[in-house]
Chain A
Amino acid sequence: MKPLPITGVYRYKNKIFTENPVYCKGLTVYDEKLLKYHNKEYRSWNPYKSKLSASIHNGLKRLDLSEKSTILYLGAATGTTVSHLSDIVNNGVIYAIEKSPFVLKKLLQLCNQRKNIIPIMSDANHPERYSVSVPIVDFIYQDISQRNQDEIFINNIRKYLKINGQGIIMVKARSIDVSLNPKQVYNQVIDKLNLNKIKIIDVIDLSHYEKDHASIVVSN
């Protein structure tokens, strides 16, 4: 079990893992594999199911995450990636925003299981609607397959990300414009982020794990 440069992420035989907290011993979230190593339990992080895992597999080196970070997670869905981030920021908080009632039902099970996830049923298009519950955060994660996903990301960064905080956006080229070449779409998004004075740190293509997706790491 070799720790990676990203806090709380480990590598073992080409697979990456996060440490399952003690109070979740033996519990899995999406039928992932559990591995015991030196009296600690690790959950394998499937790159085909989580785009953050795919980014790490494809060369994402650094993320400004620590044990105490607060994360704003837009588009939490059923909580696959949320659960691993919850492992990483063991003493922090994740504010999980999700709009659809059907997937939220599954996310609630995870929230009952883990103590550091706060579910919020709201629309990420309107960041001011959840300002009562969400403070300024250290990190923003966005995975919303919408045409205006870059706008949503920028608005949330403006409102919630602390100065010198980091964010990551999973760009789904096919939901922004089907008729364009994916690379053109990524460049469009990058231009738009630059225009809004957001610095690009890293761009990672998620091919092999996800078709026509890229993750862009930014900081403000």
Chain B
Amino acid sequence: MYLITKWFGIFLINNKGIFKKHLFSKNHIIIAKKLHQVEKNEILPEEKEIIRNIKDKSIIVNEKRLRKIGEYKPDDIFFKKINLDSKEFNFSFDILKKASLKLVEDKLEKELKSKDYQAIQLIKTLDSLIQISNLLSERLDNWLMIYTPKYKIEPFKTIIKNIKKEITRLEDQIKIDIVKIAPNCCEIIGPIITARLIALAGNMENLAKMPASTIQILGAENAFFRFKKEGGKNPKHGVIFQHKIINQSPKKNRGKISRLIASKLTIAIKADFYTKRDISNILKNDIKIRLDELKNL
């Protein structure tokens, strides 16, 4: 017996045809709710209901989600032969369209509200502002070399001043925000670099899934791919270089230290994203021990 769930209903099918079926309501909001439950890996109550009084207990399913109520065999040819058409059950295609639109809209709203996307926008704005500020300051220096009437240059100066003000404001904001979502990482490498790492990875989840070696060279992609393509030396560090623990240490130790920091960061971000425990003291202690070792080399 095969159990197939579609957006318009649940079907128990054997070799002779449809054995039992349960059709959903034709309301698109209810269907969106069902689709959402399926995406969350839940077993629908209707699915439990439909197999309750079945004598033949050998049920085959094609979704991992349903492993608890049946045997998971995604490659069974039967699933490809059976094509349940929604029109045969009087479900117009419009219902699915409305339901999936609603589902995606709800999910987007929830996702785009998440704190790491906010932090990413902040850090990206900060980085562009720093670039702009440097560019404009350079122009101002050049301009001041020649004689210029004050009224011509004063507005330009105010713009630069305001940008610098905005940069400090953004930095303070990032410090507050990022400590809330990634406290362990902030303890190790500071809020600004943590935010840059999250921005480079895309979001917290991506960063939490990365190996230490990837985190170590995050931000040095150009150098890394140049090494991959043309050979030469591979980069030792990406954005983590900006931390003083690396850029103020002797050159011969930088590779070792960035490897150390990256490996501890990998643990820290996992704690931040999954368990949400505070393990920063242990990690900082580990780093200290290893740094002392390196000093005595």
Contacts and interface: CB of A to CB of B under 8 A. Distances in A.
Interface of A: 93, 101, 104-105, 108, 111-112, 115, 118-122, 128-129, 131-133, 135-136, 158-159, 162-163, 178-179
What 4 pairs between A and B have smallest CB-CB spacing? A101-B111, A136-B83, A119-B104, A121-B104
B100 A120 contact: yes
Given A93-B93, A128-B62, A104 B104 contact: yes
A159 B96 CA distance: 20
Contact of B74 (A101, A159, A162, A178): A159
Nearest to B74: A128
B101 A112 contact: yes
B118 to A, nearest CB: 13
21 contacts: A105-B108, A111-B97, A112-B101, A115-B94, A118-B96, A118-B97, A119-B100, A119-B101, A128-B62, A128-B64, A128-B74, A129-B39, A131-B62, A132-B7, A132-B63, A133-B100, A135-B84, A136-B83, A158-B75, A162-B80, A178-B229
A133 B35 CA distance: 8
Contacts of A108: 101, 104-105, 108
Contact of B85 (A120, A122, A135): A135
B41 to A, nearest CB: 9
Contact of A179 (B6, B103, B228): B228
Given A105-B108, A158-B75, A118 B229 contact: no
A11 B68 CA distance: 54
Interface of B: 5-7, 35, 38-39, 62-64, 74-75, 80, 83-85, 93-94, 96-97, 100-101, 103-105, 107-108, 111-112, 225, 228-229
Contacts of A178: 225, 228-229
Contacts of B96: 118, 133
A115 B97 contact: yes
A104 B6 contact: no
Contacts of B62: 128, 131
A67 to B, nearest CB: 15
Contacts of B7: 132-133
A134 B261 CA distance: 45
A121 B108 contact: yes
A93 B96 CA distance: 11
Contacts of A115: 94, 97
B64 A104 contact: no
B6 A132 contact: yes
Nearest to A111: B101
Given A132-B5, A132-B38, A136-B80, 4 more contacts: A108-B108, A115-B97, A118-B96, A129-B63
A133 B111 CA distance: 21
Contacts of B75: 158
A133 B112 CA distance: 24
B228 A121 contact: no
